[in-house]
Amino acid sequence: MSCLYCKALRILAREGNSATMARRTVCWQRQAMLHHCLPKQCRDPDYLYLLLSRELAAS
């Protein structure tokens, strides 16, 4: 299930939304909740968004 939220964050990053704007979305909140409950399996949305932004900037 968290893969869906990762894909949604990737779309937000691709569209050029800032991290502040992305924090207001449902997918960010759900990813944060999953990270809180399952920290070993789901990444923190701040870290994930940073990785996705870097990946998109490099390509």
For the segment 5-52, what is each residue's pLDDT rounded down to a tens digit?
A: 889 999 999 999 999 999 999 999 999 999 999 999 989 999 999 999
Residue 12: burial class (beta carbons within 10 Å; 0-12, 13-18, 19+): buried
1: pLDDT strictly greater than 60: no
Q: Which long-range contacts (CB under 8 A, 24 or more apart) does 43-47 make?
A: 45/5, 45/9, 46/19
pLDDT value of residue 51: 93
Calpha distance 55→4 (Å, rounded):
18
Calpha distance 1→20 (Å, rounded):
23
List the one residue out of 21, 37, 30 whose CA is nearest residue 53. 21
> Can you give the residue ranges of every domain in the chain?
2-58
